[in-house]
Structure 1
Amino acid sequence: MLNGTYEKLKQRSKVFGTTISHFSWTGVVPLLKKRNIDFVIIELEHNFFDWRDMEGLLRTSNTVALTAFVRITELAYNQVSKVLDLGANGIIIPRIETVAELERAVDMMRLPPRGRKGVGGYDFSGDDLLNKLANYNMEKMIIIQMENPTAIANLGAMLDMKEVAGVIVGPYDLSVSMEIPGQLQHPRFIQAVNDVIEICGKYQVSCGMYMGSSADMKYWRERGMNIIWSGSDIDFYVKGYHALCDTVEQMD
């Protein structure tokens, strides 16, 4: 049976997810699952998780049936294959710019004959090998991040490969690459994001962005984005802590 998030992405339905960026405690996964969440992104690019941390988080995500993506640090086989072997439902590729880079990702992720991924890991435990082989290449999702104008210019050609399950704008890296750092309301930034939405619409591929506020989520949802990615474990912790301190400080 195909993953429910895979089906939603294919239909371009609304999907919502958040980030595990700092908490290696596996109990955070079932806590997230208590609400209406579609996926979690486990951060490998900008954090300190080791492979034991990653294994625990991915194993728990599989146990509670929460779709787990891993944002890798770089496009390297030892990362791509490893996170898939540990149970990731897909990978998020940052800083991707070209068809050639996407072809490398496909080669690392897909089993033969589509790629050269080795057989092994969490997904191949048990006896039903033929069924697992048949579904593996379809079930493992590729999400690509748009973080500079070159990537956007090549997006159509990448989507034409029909390997991408979703496209996510990295707003801060995109704004920095456009030399308007952090100016997410700048007309040029808005136009660049709208270009991504338009291209994804043409190819009928899901798209979204990391959105820092409820206003951002509503704005971009109304403009056609269906992947809503917001928040992180440390962000929730800090906000909750500040809210508690504010309450105490207001007391007599």
Structure 2
Amino acid sequence: MANAGYDFIWTEMQHNDRDWGAVARMWRTCPNAKAVPGVRVAYTDEREIQHALDAGALVIVVPTVDSKAEAIEARNWTYFPPLGRRSNGGGQAFDAGMWGGVPGGYRNTINDNVVLIEMIETLEGLKDVDEIAKVPGVTAVFAASGDLGNFSGYRQGTPDYERAINIVHDAALKAGKRLCGPFAWRDRPDFTCFQAGSETAAIARGVAAELGPLANTQPKPEVGPFAVPPKTP
């Protein structure tokens, strides 16, 4: 997956029970892949963001950012001083096998290379999105298609929902930040970064493309647990 053409791999930690040790081991296996390690943390929290960065993440996605204060907090835990307040505590990100061998060293260069994406998913976030987008260090603002509808009650495709998306759109552009959304929105104006589907869905699409007309051409089994029962007259 890391060499399939993506810019970064979205490791899901908001809706998943995996631990950071497992994530670190996974990222360590492909430090030279084309797609860099990225993660959606569970919430705005020093421990969550610190674990992700120390393990080697270069993209941090923060869900349900509701205010400028929360946007600043996420920024502070993402960046080393002087822009932020990230602790210099080590971790495999500093190892030569990850990013420790980059010219200038990891500590001195990561502030210029880390990507911070903040998700707008609630009416509170929508109300403060202009200020959220202007926070220095925020790379992109994500118009969260599903949860913005979930928290607002606006059904996708309705005028109220589209107005909400346009508010996020306008805030990102005014602040000079990237505008992110689901991959299905890749043809929408000004959206330049996207969340693709899951790895299982990508594998299924790849298999279907490879097999083409040969997919699902095997005869139906007549015996065994997958046998199709005969139709009764």
- The TM tier, using the shorter chain, reads 0.7 to 0.9
Please list the CA deviations of residues 68-117 of structure 1 after superposition, one character each: whole Å capped at 9, or x if unmatched: 22100122222110110000002100011111112211222222333332
Q: Which of these residues, 123, 131, 142, is aligned with residue 168 of structure 1?
A: 142
Residue aligning to 2:194: 228
Q: 1:93 to 1:62 in 2, by over 3 A?
A: same
Question: Which AA in structure 2 matches 1:115?
Answer: G
Superposition CA RMSD, Å: 2.8
The whole-number CA distance in structure 2 between the counterparts of 1:208 and 1:237 is 24
Flag the structure with larger Rg: 2
Give the stretch that moved more between structures: 138-147 or 123-132: 123-132
The whole-number CA distance in structure 1 between the counterparts of 2:111 and 2:192 is 23
Q: Which of these residues, 166, 169, 180, is aligned with residue 194 of structure 1?
A: 166
Q: Is the 8 A contact 2:83 2:137 kept in 1?
A: no
Q: How many residues align?
A: 213
Residue aligning to 2:27: 58
Please list the CA deviations of residues 134-177 of structure 1 after superposition, one character each: whole Å capped at 9, or x if unmatched: 21222222100010122122122122222111111111110011
Give the stretch that moved more between structures: 139-148 or 155-164: 155-164
Q: Which of these residues, 188, 199, 203, is aligned with residue 175 of structure 2?
A: 203
Residue aligning to 2:231: none
Q: Is the 8 A contact 2:75 2:138 kept in 1?
A: no
Higher helix share: 1
Q: How does 1:1-252 map to 2 (within 5 A)?
A: 28-29=1-2, 33-34=3-4, 36-119=5-88, 120-126=90-96, 131-180=105-154, 183-211=155-183, 213=184, 216-218=185-187, 220=188, 223-237=189-203, 247-248=216-217
Please give the TM-score of this superposition, normalised by the length of structure 1.
0.74
The whole-number CA distance in structure 2 between the counterparts of 1:239 and 1:130 is 41
Question: Which AA in structure 1 matches 2:133?
Answer: L
The whole-number CA distance in structure 1 between the counterparts of 2:130 and 2:112 is 21
The whole-number CA distance in structure 2 between the counterparts of 1:131 and 1:239 is 39
Q: Is the 8 A contact 2:133 2:141 kept in 1?
A: no
The whole-number CA distance in structure 2 between the counterparts of 1:125 and 1:172 is 38
Give 3-state SS (helix, strand or coil) of 1:150's partner: helix
Per-residue deviation at 1:46? 0.6
Question: Which AA in structure 2 matches 1:236?
Answer: A
Per-residue deviation at 1:195? 1.7
The higher relative CO (CA closer than 8 Å, separation ≥ 6) is in 1
Give 3-state SS (helix, strand or coil) of 1:231's partner: coil
- Structure 2, unmatched stretches of 5+, are 222-233
Q: 1:134 to 1:237 in 2, by over 3 A?
A: closer
Q: 1:228 to 1:98 in 2, by over 3 A?
A: same
